[in-house]
């Protein structure tokens, strides 16, 4: 966990000097997660004691109680999602679109809750940091800046805080109107009064999970980006022809991809189906924006519009981090292919390592896949973000065309 660096220092004759080795401080979960390490305990889904019970049998009873309580919390979140799916509305109506948008967002909240339960149960964050520590020791030059996540904590806190305020504004507005959604019908008091509390619970869980999800992806692409920076510097200084140096870079690249592949086993629990539900919510949001935003009173209309844009950004936020990781992995091949040192190299080991690194960068299997088939990388991400939300615009066009056709038919 700790590394030391000893330096050779020139000492003048007759003098005496002891060079104290520099000790690198390990990246702990408190530094990595920041305030999240405290708030996770209050989610009701923190099952880290389960991992502890595997080592010490005295904690097995507490582990069972914790898991039962976590299942109850997840059941409440599932019930909220089920409620949105049960709201009926005519096809292509406002109620149909609004209930669909919040129902698919509800699916995302269920997946976030399950991931918190699963990640803490398997002690994913600690295992990830242990593997990340191995990569930190392989750096050519230490860089404390990329190990500091304070700015990331602040940015994510601001975004998730705004998202929570927007979502809660919609829930409270609906409760005031004695509804579950703005376009819905009046419903039993126990339901419309209970929904804001269930929504607050969901916002807390989704915010906690997305913070963790983004931090893990951030740690991956920061480490890979720094590897590429050091590789680029070695290329500019024409050092890549050194067999020992390029072998070290090759070993480090292999460890990086192994780290990504290992992290993806847990990250994939979120990205396996979540993009589908998020894009469905996004389609409904775009459809509402172009078809019904003028049908609501001013305050309700503003709240609905803010929720629409929050849904679009949430969709972007759910996929972009994983796409960034793949971009930096592929960027390694660009750096190597732009290097002209290898054109006249006669060292077979150097050339073999060069080709292995390029193949590893382009043909690796450390990709997250939606439904086990569609890979998440920059090209598919940008295509999906352009075309899929456009289906909402197309749906709005079809609705207006059908409405115009019905009016013309009546007039004729």
DSSP one-letter code for 5? E
Q: How confident is the model at residue 111 (pLDDT cuts 50, 70, 90)?
A: very high
Distance CA 43, CA 208 (A): 8
Calculate helix-pair angle for 243-271, 124-137, nearest 10 degrees.
160
Q: Which residues contact 353 (CB under 8 A, 6 or more apart)?
A: 243, 246, 247, 250
> So what's the pLDDT on residue 19?
39
- What CA dihedral angle connects 151, 313, 381 and 373, to 10 degrees? 100
Please determine, for residue 2, whether its predicted confidence score (pLDDT) is greater than 50: no
Summarize pLDDT for 306-363 with one digit per residue, the tens. 998 888 888 888 888 888 888 888 888 888 887 777 766 777 787 888 888 888 888 8
Q: How confident is the model at residue 299 (pLDDT cuts 50, 70, 90)?
A: confident
DSSP one-letter code for 22? E
3-state secondary structure of 339: coil
Q: How confident is the model at residue 1 (pLDDT cuts 50, 70, 90)?
A: very low
Query: Left (φ > 0), alpha (ψ -120 to 50) or beta: where does 75 sit?
Result: alpha
Summarize pLDDT for 151-174 with one digit per residue, the tens. 888 888 898 899 999 999 999 988
Distance CA 81, CA 95 (A): 16
Short-list 187, 194, 388, CA closest to 278 = 388
Which carries the bigger pLDDT value, residue 296 or residue 104?
104
Would you state the structure tokens that stand for residue 334, as one six-digit string?
A: 């660009």
Please determine, for residue 255, whether its predicted confidence score (pLDDT) is greater than 60: yes
Name the pTM for this structure.
0.86
Distance CA 148, CA 144 (A): 6
Q: How confident is the model at residue 216 (pLDDT cuts 50, 70, 90)?
A: very high
Report the Cα–Cα distance between both ends of the chain, in Å, rounded. Answer: 81
Distance CA 208, CA 211 (A): 5
Summarize pLDDT for 171-187 with one digit per residue, the tens. 998 888 888 888 777 77
Region of poorest pLDDT, from 27-41, 181-195, 215-229: 181-195
């Amino acid at each position: 966990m700790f590394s030391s660096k000893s330096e050779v220092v020139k000492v003048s004759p007759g003098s005496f000097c002891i060079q104290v080795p520099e000790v690198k401080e390990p990246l702990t979960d408190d530094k990595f997660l920041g305030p999240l390490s405290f708030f996770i305990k209050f989610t009701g889904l923190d099952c880290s004691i389960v991992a502890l019970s595997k080592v010490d049998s005295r904690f097995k009873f507490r582990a069972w109680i914790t898991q039962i309580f976590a299942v109850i919390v997840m059941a409440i979140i599932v019930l909220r999602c089920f409620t949105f799916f049960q709201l009926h509305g005519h096809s292509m109506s406002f109620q149909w679109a609004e209930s669909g948008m919040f129902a698919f967002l509800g699916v995302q909240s269920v997946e976030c809750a399950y991931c918190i339960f699963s990640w803490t149960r398997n002690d994913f964050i600690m295992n990830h940091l242990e593997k990340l520590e191995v990569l930190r020791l392989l750096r050519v030059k230490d860089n404390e800046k990329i190990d500091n996540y304070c700015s990331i904590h602040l940015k994510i806190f601001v975004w998730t805080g705004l998202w929570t305020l927007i979502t809660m504004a919609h829930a409270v507005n609906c409760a005031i109107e004695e509804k579950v959604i703005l376009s819905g019908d009046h419903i039993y008091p126990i339901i419309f009064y209970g929904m804001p509390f269930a929504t607050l619970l969901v916002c807390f869980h989704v915010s906690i999970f997305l913070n963790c999800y983004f931090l893990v992806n951030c740690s991956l692409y920061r480490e890979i980006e720094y590897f590429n920076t050091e590789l680029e510097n070695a290329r500019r200084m024409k050092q890549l022809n050194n067999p020992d140096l390029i072998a070290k870079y090759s070993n480090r690249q292999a460890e990086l991809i192994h780290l990504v592949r290992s992290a993806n086993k847990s990250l994939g629990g979120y990205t396996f189906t979540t993009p589908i539900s998020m894009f469905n919510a996004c389609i409904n949001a775009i459809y509402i924006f172009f078809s019904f935003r003028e049908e609501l009173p001013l305050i309700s209309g503003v709240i609905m519009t803010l929720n629409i844009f929050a849904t679009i950004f949430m969709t972007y936020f759910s996929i972009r981090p994983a796409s960034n990781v793949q971009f930096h992995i592929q960027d390694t091949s660009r750096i190597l292919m732009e290097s002209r040192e290898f054109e006249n190299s006669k060292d077979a080991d150097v050339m073999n390592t060069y080709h292995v690194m390029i193949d590893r960068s382009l043909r690796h299997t450390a990709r997250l896949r939606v439904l086990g088939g569609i890979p998440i990388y920059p090209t598919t991400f940008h295509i999906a973000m352009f075309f899929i939300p456009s289906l909402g615009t197309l749906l709005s066009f079809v609705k207006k065309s059908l409405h115009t056709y019905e009016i013309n038919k009546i007039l004729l």
